[in-house]
A and B are shown apart, each in its own frame.
Chain A
Amino acid sequence: MSNDHKTDIATTGIVEGDIVEFPLPPHHHRLTDTDPRAARRAERQVSTMFILSGLCIIAFIAAYIAIPETSYLNLGPAGTIQTSNFMLGLTFGLATLLIGIAAIHWAKKLMSDEEIVDYRHPVGSPQEDRDAAKAAFDAGVAESGFVERKMVRRTLLGALALFPLPLIVLLKDMGPLPGDSLRHTIWRKGSRIVIDVTGQPLRPEDMQVGSLVSASPADLKAIQEADGDQNARAKASIILVRMKPSDIVSEQGEGWSWNGILAFSKICTHVGCPIALYQQRTHHLLCPCHQSTFDLADSGKVVFGPAARAMPQLPITVDSEGFLVAQSDFQQPVGPSFWERA
């Protein structure tokens, strides 16, 4: 080990021996060191700041008591802001700031500013300590029989290697296993498509060319209430767009659209942001998170950005009552890629 060091220094030829030491420059007295009036002035400044800080704290308490959260303050072009937040912050902030400024001013003007020198000692342990520690360690090793008693040593290492397993196994119930849950959504044959928020079912003639509708299956609300979470929504959200049938270049399946109305998953195939930035002239759908761009007129294929897979299309049709419904579930998993997804 120590041999290595020597060769290192030998091979690197560090320029040594040429160190020139310059003495510490002479100390110059400050005005406050030589002029008692300046020192008294600094003292007054420092204590004034401490007093102002205390006053700010009293103002803070007054503001806390007097100003309700519902009161607002108009600051003109800067906007209207919550008075309570502003006044509490202002008084507390100033009080804190003043203590800081006063303390530093005190240090700079009134405490000694003569630089002092401390000497460093080697950081590492001295050799005798290293030797003593090694001797103690060796003695311990010898007494334990760790080296000679191979059986004990090996079984100990084996036991310790197995020991953490329960800690890992116990994590198993953190969640259920994925199974095929990522491959399905709650869409199924005949699921009625309803407009998000209003929950209205939709007829083809309700949409005109250029329309965009955020939609979900009619039974989503009930399922969500039963599950108590948003899992179903996170996968089943779709957007419907209508374009001139002649504008459609291709679709993911024969007869999946209805008179120019196309349904696509709303969940980006990149990392799962919901997308509805539909640009009706170009039929492009842009993700606001990472700018993946999908051409909805051409099977939802990726035309720009980091997403690798086309936006999954939901096959739709019209039911006997004239409402838009799904022909089936999505024919591929929606959302981001995952290892088992083929």
Chain B
Amino acid sequence: MSTVVDGVGKAIGRADDRAPISSLLKDNLRKVFPDHWSFMLGEIALYSFIILLLTGVYLTIWYQPSMQEVVYHGSYQPLVGIPMSEAYNSALHISFDVRGGLLIRQIHHWAALFFMAAMVVHMFRIFFTGAFRKPREFNWVIGGSMILIGLLEGFAGYSLPDDLLSGVGVRIVAGIIESIPVVGTYLLFFLFGGQYPGHDFIPRLYTFHVLLVPGILLASVGLHLVLIFYHKHTQYPGPGRTNDNVVGFPLFPVYTAKAGGFFFIVFGVTVLMAAFVTINPIWAYGPYVPDQVTAGSQPDWYIGFVDGALRAFPNWESENFLGHTWSWNILIPCVLMPGILVALLLSYPFLEAWITGDTREHHLLDRPRNAATRTALGAMAITFYGILVINGANDIVAQAFNLSINQLTWFTRIGVFVFPPLVFIATRRFCLGLQRRDRDLLMHGRESGQILRLPHGEFIEIHTPISDDEKAVILAKRDIAPIEAPPATDENGIATPGLRAKKWRAKLSNAYFGENVKRPTLAEIEAAEHHHHDEVAHEIDVLHEAGAPIPSELTD
């Protein structure tokens, strides 16, 4: 026995006298986690968050959240003697006069981009495999909220250095706040401690960024993980995998090594990126001055969809009868559109369950093709989002590909309505096609590509049955029949309560499941197999009669 192991054992023993450590360990040390690459996506987000906490602490040591004007005297020559805020001054100090400070800053910013990107990709996995279904709806809501909170946290962090780029970002947010009806102007004055830019915003944003939001995120992460632990992990269909079990490797030691190792890999990759690739060269942007701006002023990618919508939206503004201004050109793309997106995102599990009437617990994941409408809805949402993100960079796109920003804007204005439905239709068709293929595979096996010419001139293709592993995957599909609209009155002539809602539900349910390709029942598969056997027997007979050699595929 190694001394390390002995030591841990003794420590647990002592702790056990004070808290039920062993009771917790005995149930959980060998907890099973299934193996699949797509189950690691959330871990990337989790590890990026830990990296952010670690590096963030370092940055707070030197960063000064103050808008007090100072004159720069650090070692970055092109800014020496320039007045700037203390915040920007300290960010420059971290970058040029703290050894390793630039590395920490770059790790922090890259990790932030990783955090957001990994959460989004993780959400895609959860969505397309139906992992959000009962009993995990609440965890979906927590996760979705974390993306939203992460977005605010990211924006706050992007703004803190008070460089020219981030200052323009804050200016835009101030403009968006001003557009809010009734309270907008007051909200602006309260948040900024007076007129824009004032001298309160950076210190307030700092507290928000290092205390309030990380606290909320940390609590959300904790709850998210506790629920994952309690629900046990979902798994993909396959042989030996059912809705009532979970097949995989134990937390200790395999997942301790794999997940723990992955933490080091995420960390290592982030550090290497920070070593090789510049992110947010704040020194090059210069200090924020309200009358300076740079071409290509962009937010970090996760804000891009809002910026893209803001760029594309027509210049609608109106006045009410009291002479108040409704800035539709800002309210709709920046407040209403993201609000609706978030509401749809967070409520999706409940909407889908209402439409399908499915109240069972789901621990076995859907293959995306088997939920054709859901997959198509997801693809449609991604298209919508993607077009807006690209429009958020339309000036860079125009510059890189010699296009006109005016034409790109019009492309977005039209495309954002045209492409998502097209993608919906195409994805749904594609999924239904795959469902049909699965059905054929079960019924007739796989086309071997070998053509056999029978003595009487008929050509047949030899089909080979699929393996049990494949069968297990395809047979895991469960079909749900669409809900039927209830009759207007029951047999006693009493009107059905809530008839309109029920009719709507039936309509949506039919649209959702309408063209679903039914998985064949076992009886159907058996019948098809018999038919196949009969055909083969017939072929062998024919070949035998003709005295021809019999291919091995037929006799297997």
Binding site for B on A (CB under 8 A): 5, 8-9, 11-16, 18-25, 64, 68-70, 82, 84-90, 92-104, 106-108, 111-113, 115-120, 122-124, 171, 174-178, 181-182, 196, 214, 216, 228-231, 233-235, 237, 266-267, 270-277, 288-292, 302, 304-309, 335-342
Tell me the chain B residues, 168-226 only, with Cβ under 8 Å from chain A.
168, 171-172, 174-176, 178-186, 188-200
7 A–B contacts, CB within 8 A, in A order = A64-B100, A99-B268, A113-B254, A118-B245, A231-B194, A272-B174, A337-B178
B271 touches A174 (CB 8 A): no
Given contacts A68-B99, A84-B102, A233-B290, 10 further A-B contacts (CB under 8 A): A14-B481, A103-B260, A119-B244, A270-B315, A274-B171, A274-B290, A289-B168, A306-B313, A336-B178, A337-B330
**Contact partner, A335, options B175, B230, B394, B483, Cβ 8 Å:** B175
Chain A min CB distance to B158 (Å): 15
Going nearest first, the 10 A-B pairs with the smallest beta carbon separation are A89-B275, A271-B175, A97-B268, A24-B240, A100-B264, A103-B261, A308-B317, A93-B271, A100-B265, A107-B257
B541 within 8 A of A: no
> How many positions in chain B have a CB within 8 Å of any CB in the partner chain?
135
B172 touches A289 (CB 8 A): yes
Chain A residue nearest to B173 (CB atoms) is A271
A15 touches B480 (CB 8 A): yes
B478 within 8 A of A: yes
Binding site for A on B (CB under 8 A): 30-32, 35, 67-69, 75, 96-100, 102-103, 106-107, 135, 168, 171-172, 174-176, 178-186, 188-200, 230-232, 239-240, 242-250, 253-255, 257-258, 260-272, 274-276, 289-297, 307, 310-317, 319, 323-325, 327, 329-330, 333, 356-361, 363, 394-395, 405-406, 409, 468-469, 471-472, 475, 478-484, 518-519, 521-522
Chain A residue nearest to B136 (CB atoms) is A123
Chain A min CB distance to B556 (Å): 20
Chain A residues whose CB sits within 8 angstroms of the CB of B186 once the complex forms: 177-178
B189 touches A23 (CB 8 A): no
Chain B residues whose CB sits within 8 angstroms of the CB of A337 once the complex forms: 178-179, 317, 325, 327, 330
**Contact partner, A307, options B199, B244, B329, Cβ 8 Å:** B329
A276, B291: Cα distance in complex, Å: 9
A280, B457: Cα distance in complex, Å: 81
A111 touches B190 (CB 8 A): no
A103 touches B405 (CB 8 A): no
A274 touches B291 (CB 8 A): yes
B263 touches A69 (CB 8 A): no
Most A CB within 10 A of own CB, among B182, B189, B312, B361: B189
Chain B min CB distance to A339 (Å): 5
Chain A residues whose CB sits within 8 angstroms of the CB of B317 once the complex forms: 308-309, 337
Known: A69-B99, A214-B291, A229-B67. A103 touches B168 (CB 8 A): no
